[in-house]
Amino acid sequence: MFILFISWQDVGFTADPIDDNIYQWCVKLFNFDPGTDLAKDLNEIHEKFDYNYIELQLVSNAVLYVWINAFLYQTEPSILSNNC
């Protein structure tokens, strides 16, 4: 038996190109194990700010993508530290 369709809610992430650019992607991670500290923190963020995912931006160079690694930026939630 083959699964022909898997819901994005079951997978735990989405990946969408930004402005139809295949070298820039918006990746959202969610559905973490409920017992983890990360899931608890995201539930707290959901109560305060109405979202419960980690958003990453993956950017690669359009010309040098074969030789240079892509950059991965965390865009949501913002992480603040006193050690900066």
* Blockwise average pLDDT, block size 10, the chain, 84 residues: 56 89 92 90 92 92 78 81 53
Pair of tokens at residue 27: 């990746």
Q: Which residues make Cβ contacts (< 8 Å) with residue 58, sequence separation at least 6? A: 15, 24, 25, 27, 70, 71, 72, 73
pTM: 0.74
Q: What CA–CA distances, in Å, run from 11 to 6, 79, 83?
A: 7, 25, 35
Pair of tokens at residue 1: 């038996």
User: Is CATH 3.40.50.720 the right assignment for the domain spanning 8-76?
Assistant: no
pLDDT at 4: 53
pLDDT at 8: 56
pLDDT at 28: 93
pLDDT at 7: 60
Instruction: Compute the distance between CA of residue 28 and CA of residue 25 in angstroms, rounded to an integer.
Output: 10
pLDDT at 68: 80
Amino acid code (one letter) for 32:
F
Domain boundaries, the chain: 8-76
